[in-house]
Structure 1
Amino acid sequence: MLWLSNLTIFCVSMMAGVVVASTVEKPLQSQAASAGTFLRLDPTFNEIVPMDTVVEKVAEGFKFIEGPVWMGGPQGRLLFSDIPANTVYSWSDTEGVGVFLRPVTAVNSDTGGTGGSNGLALDAQGRLILCEHGNRRVSMLETDGSRTTLADRFNNRRLNSPNDIIFHSSGTAFFTDPPYGLNGQDKSPAKEQAHNGIYRLDVDGTVTLLSAAQTRPNGIGLSPDENTLYVANSDWPFSTHLMSYPILDDLTLGDATVFFDAKGLSDLAYSGTTDGLTLDQSGNIYASGPGGVIILNKKGQHLGTIKLNEVAANVGWGDDGKTLYITASTSLYRVKLNAYGLVYR
């Protein structure tokens, strides 16, 4: 698990739909600090989140953002998806917000899906991997700006709308496929799968269904030892569980366990549900949930919450590896921590 410093994608420059723009529909750079608060429940939380830490809102004015991933080492930049805007944005301290990829889904697409990309990740070579709602596929951005389809079908039927993906050190990936990118979701006439699945994508392109038990499988993460897969079920108000699965020697999954139930954290007003997640090198879990980002230890104990005034969607590490970025509805936040993030390659 090493920090990636591959700048390959950013050397593409203005090719095949990879656009860097600064004037069209550009969200606002924000200088506001203390844009959130902290619920400190356990002394361990204070070791992770320093007492003098603030929540920074670094950009705003988006439609609904997701899937943050850092590229380029300490001096790099963050990429993240704006699903309804059909755009992948970039952000850095020096350059602010720019359009990295637009559109993700062609206007005349006939896939039956809607929106752009959701979860983003890097493979072992530092190439950008996209979970594309509108195109209903997992794709890879090539150095010439084109995209290669890695997975778009299971049993010869089109996937629903791939949501999030994580890479194992073997090169195999695990991804989730809820129906959020389909109008009507489970009732959509475009839905071809009878389930909403958790899948394995092998290096040779084989797609294997690992579980069809979750109603809305969403955010996904691996433990530092790669023995456990965590998957959020985002079916508020019916199921707001973070599930854990033992990863077997053949990279299939054992029986699921409820690792954390976030339903008790929410009042009658919707304040978010289990969604995107990431881990640090000690195995602590940072998961979007009711109220903001909940931090859990590897036993599932709730240590505390980074509280925001809007719904948190996903989280990812950046900068020097100790900065947590949060995509939350219309705004991008960051919090500087003491923990080092777990970055997969």
Structure 2
Amino acid sequence: MFRFVPAIATGVPCLLLALNINTQPFMKGSNNPSMEIPVQIERLDPAADALLPQHPVWHRVATGFTWVEGPIWIHSGYLMFADIPSNSIRKVDSHGDSIWLQPSGYRGQEPYGGKESGSNGMTLDPAGRLTVAGHAARNVMRFESMDPHGTVTILADSYQGKKLNSPNDLVYGPDGSLYFTDPPYGLRTQNDSDPHKELKINGVYRIPNATKQKPGSQPDRNALQLLVSDLPRPNGIAFSPDGKWLYVSNSEPKFWMRYSVKEDGTLGAGSIFLDASNDKRNGAPDGIKVDAKGNLFAAGPGGVWIISPTGKHLATLLTEKSTANMAWGGADGRTLYTTTTDSVFSIRLNTTGLRP
């Protein structure tokens, strides 16, 4: 995630849109026009027309937060996301919005002293187990069941004897390894001079055979692989549909990287996939999701960037406030959920997303 700009206080979080059993959004009080917002689109290439409905609409799912992140669609039909400043993971289903876990990141007795005390990005492993970038917890953890008080397995918490910075986002590779980014945004000062920062780098890492780690066991700290060490602020991360490419967003300065994936799961040389460093709009490269055709849907300046598999900027779904991340959901995988500063939105698209 990127540094948040606090929104105007709106009181307690409230649910504006529930999800029914068929995973299609419906609105409480559907005559309230504030719950549906026509999407403003920056169209840059005709190829975007095949991906977008003629008149797309944002549906507001939940609001009243400060900085939301890490959405993930759970197979049984509901959405989860992190509200980082309140140190919680939340659940949205047909019953409304509720706290699933609090605290989700920092668990100390003293006040945290920073803006982002909670957890961050989330994904599922092939067995459907929730895997979380701990952010202020400075680890990567896996929940062995959907009981928040059940067994939690720490998959990584240090590199070469030094604490991780603040794991931010994560994705499983085709071989069951877990890849994650580790910028300093979950530290108290969110910068490289933070007195609690032990690593000099902001890396991209791989946990080999992460899916095979036994529930509740200690991480194999010697096995953690540092794949990328030269990015200033690695953030979002995603694979191409065929698993041959790994995409990593860099928030400061603003650009996306692409790396070839070797047979052993390590990475080849990387190159800038798309440069947005001259775009001064609110927001920065952050979370990334990919559709079945290999198009990237990436949080970026101004909203959600749609990027072709060749690195061409096709369109931007404009958002009034900075968007941090997104997730494919719904029964058919054609609903894109976004975490946009203080609210969660959904939009129906004409393309099917790749879901964990």
TM-score by length of 2: 0.84
Q: What SS does structure 2 have at the residue aligned with 1:255?
A: strand
Q: What SS does structure 1 have at the residue aligned with 2:269?
A: coil
Select the residue among 44, 57, 64 that pairs with 1:41: 44
**Does the 8 Å CA contact 1:285/1:297 hold for their aligned counterparts?**
yes
Q: CA-atom RMSD, angstroms?
A: 1.9
**Does the 8 Å CA contact 2:39/2:55 hold for their aligned counterparts?**
no
Deviations 1:85-132 (A, max 9, x none): 10101113x222111111113242799985111000101110111101
CA deviation after TM superposition for structure 1 residue 263, in Å: 2.3
Q: Which residue of 2 aligns with 1:117?
A: 119
Rounded Cα–Cα distance in structure 2 between residues aligned with 1:28 and 1:81: 15
Rounded Cα–Cα distance in structure 2 between residues aligned with 1:159 and 1:110: 20
Q: Which residue of 2 aligns with 1:245?
A: 259
What does 1:3-18 correspond to in 2, within 5 Å? none
Q: Percent identity?
A: 40
Amino acid at match of 1:198: V
Instruction: Note if 1:135 corresponds to 2:172.
Output: no
Amino acid at match of 1:79: M
Instruction: Note if 1:166 corresponds to 2:191.
Output: no
Q: What SS does structure 1 have at the residue aligned with 2:37?
A: coil
Rounded Cα–Cα distance in structure 1 between residues aligned with 2:181 and 2:47: 31
**Does the 8 Å CA contact 2:112/2:188 hold for their aligned counterparts?**
no
Q: Which residue of 2 aligns with 1:4?
A: none
Q: Which residue of 2 aligns with 1:150?
A: 155
Amino acid at match of 2:125: D
Q: Which residue of 1 aligns with 2:296?
A: 285
Deviations 1:147-167 (A, max 9, x none): 221100110111000000000
Q: Which residue of 1 aligns with 2:321?
A: 310
CA deviation after TM superposition for structure 1 residue 53, in Å: 1.7
Change (3 A) 1:86 1:253: same
Q: Which residue of 2 aligns with 1:199?
A: 205
Rounded Cα–Cα distance in structure 1 between residues aligned with 2:194 and 2:113: 9
Instruction: Note if 1:256 corresponds to 2:270.
Output: yes
Instruction: Note if 1:88 corresponds to 2:84.
Output: no
Rounded Cα–Cα distance in structure 2 between residues aligned with 1:84 and 1:193: 24
Q: Which residue of 2 aligns with 1:27?
A: 14
Change (3 A) 1:109 1:253: farther
Select the residue among 180, 184, 187 that pairs with 2:193: 187
Rounded Cα–Cα distance in structure 2 between residues aligned with 1:54 and 1:41: 19
Q: What SS does structure 2 have at the residue aligned with 1:97?
A: strand
CA deviation after TM superposition for structure 1 residue 134, in Å: 1.6
Q: What SS does structure 2 have at the residue aligned with 1:84?
A: helix
Q: Which residue of 1 aligns with 2:340?
A: 328
Q: What SS does structure 2 have at the residue aligned with 1:45?
A: helix
Amino acid at match of 1:82: D
Instruction: Note if 1:210 corresponds to 2:216.
Output: no
Amino acid at match of 2:43: R
CA deviation after TM superposition for structure 1 residue 298, in Å: 0.3
Instruction: Note if 1:106 corresponds to 2:103.
Output: no
Change (3 A) 1:110 1:210: farther
**Does the 8 Å CA contact 2:68/2:342 hold for their aligned counterparts?**
yes
**Does the 8 Å CA contact 1:315/1:325 hold for their aligned counterparts?**
yes
Rounded Cα–Cα distance in structure 2 between residues aligned with 1:311 and 1:330: 9
TM-score by length of 1: 0.86
Amino acid at match of 2:199: Q
Q: What SS does structure 1 have at the residue aligned with 2:192?
A: helix
Q: Which residue of 1 aligns with 2:286?
A: 275
Rounded Cα–Cα distance in structure 2 between residues aligned with 1:125 and 1:39: 38
CA deviation after TM superposition for structure 1 residue 52, in Å: 2.2
**Does the 8 Å CA contact 1:78/1:90 hold for their aligned counterparts?**
yes
Q: Which runs of 5+ in 2 are unaligned?
A: 1-10, 18-26, 28-34, 214-219
Q: Which residue of 1 aligns with 2:308?
A: 297
Deviations 1:24-63 (A, max 9, x none): 9443425511253112222221110111221222211111
Q: Which moved more, 1:214-223 or 1:246-255?
A: 246-255
Q: Which residue of 2 aligns with 1:12?
A: none
Deviations 1:152-197 (A, max 9, x none): 0110111000000000121101100001111222111111111000
Matched length: 312
